[in-house]
Amino acid sequence: MLGSPSPSTSDEKVSSPRPCSPPPAAQSSAKNPPRNRPLAELIGAPFPAFDYETTVILPFQDETSRDESFQKELNKMLLDATLEAHAWASARPFHETDLATRKFEQEILSVQEQEREQGMYLTTRPPPSFLFLLFGRRILPPGLFTSRFTVFLDCLLILAPEKTRQRLNEFVTRLKSALAALTMSM
In the chain, which ranges are continuous DSSP H helix?
7-13, 24-29, 39-44, 52, 58-118, 130-135, 148-153, 160-185
- Among candidate residues 153, 165, 152, 163, the one with its CA nearest the CA of residue 111: 165
Q: Which amino acid is at 118?
A: Q
Rounded Cα distance between 146 and 153, Å, is 12
Rounded Cα distance between 72 and 75, Å, is 5
In this prediction, residue 39 has a pLDDT band, given cuts at 50, 70 and 90, of confident
pTM to 2 decimal places:
0.32
Please enumerate in sequence order all residues whose Cβ is within 8 A of that of 144, keeping only pairs 6 or more positions apart, or say none.
Answer: 150
For residue 20, pLDDT over 80 is answered with no
95: left (phi over 0), alpha (psi -120 to 50) or beta: alpha
Residue range 85-125, pLDDT digits in tens: 999 888 888 888 888 899 999 998 888 888 888 877 665 44
For residue 175, pLDDT over 80 is answered with yes
For residue 10, pLDDT over 80 is answered with no
Rounded Cα distance between 157 and 147, Å, is 16
Residue range 56-86, pLDDT digits in tens: 889 999 999 999 999 999 999 999 999 999 9
For residue 29, pLDDT over 70 is answered with no
Number of H helices and E strands in the chain, helices first, is 8, 0
Tell me the average pLDDT of the chain.
73
Rounded Cα distance between 62 and 48, Å, is 25
Domain parsing of the chain, residue ranges: 21-50, 56-120, 122-186
For residue 5, pLDDT over 70 is answered with no
For residue 16, pLDDT over 70 is answered with no
The mean per-residue pLDDT over the stretch 135-151 comes to 52
